[in-house]
Chains A and B, each alone.
Chain A
Amino acid sequence: QAVVTQEPSLTVSPGGTVTLTCASSTGAVTSDHYPYWFQQKAGHAPRTLIYDTNNKQPWTPARFSGSLLGDKAALTLSGAQPEDEADYYCLLSYSGARPVFGGGTKLTVL
């Protein structure tokens, strides 16, 4: 099974910009991995922010965007707000194999 790697933790200042990444042990992440991004606040269920690399859910704030950055999937937060402090997870799909979550990134807004 592939291993999906995210930064364990990141810190961003209020109003600042931060990019979270999602790498695959099998090689470059492409649109064929259909990257998803989820936000999870403490004690709550995850919430889907981004699907298929860069598509937003109706409830996704405009300050979040998804992309491919080099050989990784990326989630960029532009203009961080205190309420963005949360854990963020990516999910990658693999042809002929089961989807795999990344280990998650704990984002602190400070």
Chain B
Amino acid sequence: QVQLVQSGAEVKKPGASVKVSCKGSGYSFSSYGITWVRQAPGQGLEWMGWISGNNDHPKYAQKFQGRVTMTTDTPTSTNYLELRSLRSDDTAVYFCARAGWPGDADIWGQGTLVTVSP
């Protein structure tokens, strides 16, 4: 079945970087992109960006421009989200979702908790 499996929880200090992975299986990996969404504790969903299955022209939310990089490793069917210069308000669960285009999302990963604490 179609599945996205994300990497485990991370604890980082302010100013550090984090890299979250999202491994796809059960579908033609390069035919779909990945959307990244985050959810701060007790808050709603926030769209962060989308990258195509061809790993070209990722589209980032303006809020994260300059601090985020989304990449695709086709041989391993894995997508990555890197967020730099972490702040305490980056503490959140980060989700990946299979997405044919930026406004799409059908299958979701289980989420990765990133905690930013001194």
A interface list, Cβ under 8 A from B: 1, 34, 36, 38, 40, 45-48, 51, 57, 87, 89, 91-93, 98-104
Contact = CB atoms under 8 A, between A and B. Distances in A.
B29 interface: no
SS class, residues of chain A in contact with chain B: strand
A93 B17 CA distance: 29
A100 B106 contact: no
B45 A101 contact: yes
Q: Return the 9 tightest CB-CB contacts between A and B, nearest first.
A: A93-B103, A99-B103, A45-B108, A104-B44, A101-B45, A103-B44, A99-B47, A48-B106, A98-B61
Contact of B102 (A47, A93, A104): A93
B53 interface: no
Contacts of B111: 45
Contact of B103 (A1, A36, A87): A36
Interface residues on B, range: 20 to 34
B46 A51 contact: no
B110 A98 contact: no
B44 A89 contact: yes
Given A1-B62, A45-B111, A46-B95, A101 B44 contact: yes
A104 B61 CA distance: 19
Contacts of A102: 44
A57 B106 CA distance: 8
B105 interface: yes
A102 B108 CA distance: 18
Contacts of B37: 46, 101
A102 B49 CA distance: 16
Nearest to A35: B103
B98 to A, nearest CB: 10
